[in-house]
A and B are shown apart, each in its own frame.
Chain A
Amino acid sequence: MKKTGAQILCESLIEEGVEIIFGFPGGALLPLYDTLLLYPQLRHILVRHEQGAAHAADGYARVKHKAGVCLATSGPGATNLVTGIANAYMDSSPMVAITGQVARPFIGKDAFQEIDITGITLPVTKHNYVITRVEEIARVVKEAFYIAQTGRPGPVLIDLPRDVQEEKTEFIYSGKVDLRGYKTVFRGHPSQVKKAGKLINGAVRPLIIAGQGVVISQAYSELEELAEKTQTAVVTTLLGIGSFPENHALSFGMLGMHGTAYANMAVQNADLIIAIGMRFDDRATADTKGFAPQARIIHIDIDPAEIDKNVSVDVPIVGDARQVLQSLNKEVNEMKHEEWLEQIIQWRQEHPATNIREGDELLPQYVIRQIYEITGGEAVIVTGVGQHQMWSAQHFFYDRPDSFISSGGLGTMGFELPAAIGAKAGRPDRTVWCVAGDGGFQMTMQEMATVVQDKLDIKIAVINNGSLGMVRQWQELFYERRYSGTQLWNPDFVKIAEAYGIPGIRVGRKDEVISAIQEAMYYPGAFLLEFVVEPEENVYPMVPPGLTLSKVMELPEAAQSKMGG
């Protein structure tokens, strides 16, 4: 029996195990939306802006370890997806984005809502397709999911003209993909693994830097085995948070611009760096010329183009982190590095990073810590970008994988709420906290309607400091307090939430924090807490731009005493 293009698309998605589509309809998708009614097993979550659909698919992908699907109509629907697609591209998140396109006879005629979305998304997709015949749909969907989910994951876009959705053909879904230009190396080269093993066995001051690749390949136990067997300290990148339990004795937090001072000192003094599934992003390395000056570097990554891109390395191993670590663990000896570990622990004592100043004022760090305490560290924390993001990274201790979802590479404000929607839709069994800044929250807060319509139990914490805090911090520190464009007039967030049907509480005092978080947790449904925090609180430690990781700025002592610590 012949089926329409729209039916074939839906059935192909079901073949790929898709359960949820985040989307927004439009003229070029009318045939597909009509067909979606026939496939109730494909749950459609209607967002309020297509950017939200893409971020939700991204959040979903990160907790499910499979591609998230978003759907938007042609023209503005498609262009609204672009930020979310770019975000997924920068953070290697698997995604299949499907866009409607004007009917084939109108392509190239500047028709109503026609846009060249494959051209626009060329540099921010792993691959993209324009379907020109109904016979291509099943093969393209198969390839799209394969490309999105294998190797270094990423977004793939499929542009589907309206008339192709109505054309008919036989539906045959092949289990096989034949892409001669796409090969992924999974196993590390044995001689490279041996070389790496030798370096590790000879190292006196080794350090593991774990990145998101560990999370993507779910190499948690392999990483733990390597660290424990060789007694090697572990620091993570921002997106590597959750790859290694932060309460483990060998965990020393995050490195980089807002990493702990002792993690950065360990990097700068190590004689061997074992970098796993990370790409030497400038926020992690600071000035690369002075990065880890005493160390030889082993770099394990599945993307060969990451080798020697930002930092030149001594032993590259191209492969899947899990498979490489499995073979590497066989090459390394049981070791002890007591002196070196004691040194890092001493730095930690001298430069504590997890203490929160005592005092009466409501500090954002305290809010994050209380969310940690009250959720027992079990929550999935989904953040936007800026100060609240860094405090969430620093003051919640992540012991479980897939617990910290954040926009790393692109740094997309407004990511938090839609990504939390995706995370909660994908993992309804987990407590999901959307931690937002007052700036970024206003970029996508219309998705509260989606939260309510789909009955998603998401707890929202708006950290309100009345400004675009991270930019303000830079203006304070590097532009002599000239606050340009960073002071915010804000609406009443609690009233806004209430207008959407989400109950909320404004918290302005420290002694109200615990009961408010408890109330949010107790409430059976979405809840919003607005925390009116210290307006000029800064994120420390900080490595000022252009300097090396050795130049860590800590909280000035004057500020510490002023706050009456």
Chain B
Amino acid sequence: MVSGKKHTLVTLVEDKPGVLNRVASLFRRRAFNIESIAVGQSEQPDLSRMTIVVTGDFAQVEQVRKQLDKLIDVVKVSDITEEEMVARELALVKVKSDISNRSEIIQIADIFRANIVDVASDSLTIEVTGEEDKVDSLIELLRDFGIKELSRTGRIALTRGGRGSAK
């Protein structure tokens, strides 16, 4: 049932046990696949900010947004897809590497302004931050060397400019 474009929902939620479950349960019930969900502290002491990426057409996502807004522990939820935003993701990539190709991989990482955060005799771990496209591109390039492990945080996003998206 899910077609359409990627939507970025930014929510401010009460920092309490079970809130992530309430949010995730709602997506399950409305048959939505969450592409990524990132949760962490916000600028306000008892509130967490969640960034949720889902795919769907406007009406479907708007329905989920309104259902999310009904949760008592959800203080605010905005679909910022059409707004100017800064969106970032962090990935850690452990790639097979030995003395023969180590400098080549480091060069690639440099181009992406990625950091080498761990070096072993048979691997390199690279930390990269950026929009998903950039992370995707780096991962594609590293695939040729053999990726041993990969972990991505999913998108976090804020609207640009002075006005808060989710106050």
Contact = CB atoms under 8 A, between A and B. Distances in A.
B62 A179 contact: no
Interface in B56-101: 59, 62-63, 66-67, 69-76
Contact of A122 (B21, B59, B74): B21
Interface in A303-345: 303-305, 307-309, 312
Interface string A406-449: 00000000000000000000000000000000000000000000
B18 interface: yes
Given A118-B18, A127-B72, A305 B29 contact: no
B22 interface: yes
Given A122-B21, A122-B22, A303 B70 contact: yes
A309 B63 contact: yes
A181 B63 contact: no
Given A118-B18, A147-B72, A181-B72, A123 B63 contact: no
Given A308-B62, A309-B63, A123 B73 contact: no
Contacts of B66: 304-305, 307
A118 B25 CA distance: 12
Contacts of A130: 18
B131 interface: no
Nearest to B66: A305
Interface in B1-28: 13-14, 18, 21-22, 25-26
Contacts, number: 38
A305 B73 contact: no
Contacts of A491: none
A27 B57 CA distance: 50
B8 to A, nearest CB: 20
Interface string A99-139: 00000000000000000001100110011001000000000
Contacts of A118: 18
A303 B69 CA distance: 11
Contacts of A312: 59
B74 A181 contact: yes
B68 to A, nearest CB: 9
A312 B14 CA distance: 32
Given A304-B69, A309-B63, A181 B25 contact: no
B75 A123 contact: no
A305 B72 contact: no
Contacts of A123: 25-26, 29
A2 interface: no
A522 interface: no
Contacts of A119: 21
B7 to A, nearest CB: 16
A308 B63 CA distance: 8
A180 interface: yes
Nearest to B74: A181
Given A147-B72, A181-B72, A182-B72, A305 B18 contact: no
B63 A305 contact: yes
B29 A181 contact: no
A181 B75 contact: yes
A484 B11 CA distance: 49
B73 A181 contact: yes
A185 to B, nearest CB: 12
B105 to A, nearest CB: 45
Contacts of A307: 66
Q: Determine which residue in B29, B71, B76 has the highest number of CB atoms from chain A within 10 A of its CB, and name it.
A: B71
A434 to B, nearest CB: 33
Contacts of A309: 63
Nearest to B64: A305
A260 B17 CA distance: 50
A469 B131 CA distance: 60
Q: Determine which residue in B18, B62, B69, B72 has the highest number of CB atoms from chain A within 10 A of its CB, and name it.
A: B72
A303 B21 CA distance: 23
Nearest to A123: B29
A179 B18 CA distance: 17
Q: Determine which residue in B13, B66, B67, B76 has the highest number of CB atoms from chain A within 10 A of its CB, and name it.
A: B66
Given A123-B29, A181-B14, A181-B75, A305 B70 contact: yes
10 contacts: A118-B18, A123-B25, A181-B71, A181-B72, A181-B73, A182-B72, A305-B66, A305-B69, A307-B66, A308-B59
Interface of B: 13-14, 18, 21-22, 25-26, 29, 59, 62-63, 66-67, 69-76
Given A127-B72, A179-B72, A304-B66, 16 more contacts: A119-B21, A122-B21, A122-B22, A123-B29, A127-B71, A130-B18, A181-B14, A181-B72, A181-B73, A181-B75, A181-B76, A305-B63, A305-B66, A307-B66, A308-B59, A308-B62
